[in-house]
Amino acid sequence: MAALKAPLQRKPQRSPEQQGYVLLLTLITLLVLLFGVLFTMRGAALQTVMTGNTVQRQKDVQASDIALRVIQQTLTNASNNAGGVALEYISPQPAWFSSPSNSTAAWWPPPSATYWTQAINAGTAYSVPLPAGTSAHAWALVVSANLPPDSAGCSFYDIFIHTIEANNVTAANTEALFKLCS
């Protein structure tokens, strides 16, 4: 004879409050809040990095201003020590000075990032001595501006300065025209 099976009992139908809608809605809400928090944190972190780089770049520009004053004094001293002649006639030529050969252009193009990298790595770039406590490094290149002397016999020089923060993340390139009178 066949074994008697116990009749299946039906589970009572759950009420709408017990079907998990509240749990599902809560999980979706928590997921949306998590994404909102992650987006906010990402934005805050990005803003912090951008602000930090802007501050570092401002420090680089300020260090470039200091380096400009140092190199201007160096130019003046070099000319005075050579008897007040133009820098093109000083022998031997200072390491920071480059006289363009066969160039009739009034302005040199600013040195590229490749130029600065190669010159710094080769040790041919002039390292501008900055005051103690300055965390940046500055290099300078001075070229004749190829402008005619003015009525007072002054010569014009283009000064290019490349400044890098000690952390090598930010850099600034500045350019100035310097009038040297003997």
Q: What is the pLDDT of residues 116-150, one digit of tens each?
A: 888 888 887 888 888 887 778 888 888 888 777 77
Provide the terminal-to-terminal Cα distance of the chain, rounded to the nearest Å: 128
pTM for this prediction: 0.65
In a domain, 43, yes or no: no
Q: Which domain holds residue 67?
A: 52-180
In a domain, 18, yes or no: no
In a domain, 92, yes or no: yes
Beta-ladder partners of 159: 142, 176
Quick: pLDDT tens for 24-74.
889 999 999 999 899 888 887 777 777 767 777 788 888 888 888 988 888
In a domain, 159, yes or no: yes
What type of residue is 114? T
In a domain, 2, yes or no: no
Distance CA 160, CA 139 (A): 8
In a domain, 122, yes or no: yes
- The residues, any chain, with a CB within 8 Å of residue 166's CB and separated by 6 or more, are 135, 136, 137
Q: What is the 3-state secondary structure (H, E, C) of 119-170?
A: HHHHCCCEEECCCCCCCEEEEEEEEECCCCCCCCCCEEEEEEEEEEECCCCC
Domain count within the chain: 1
In a domain, 72, yes or no: yes
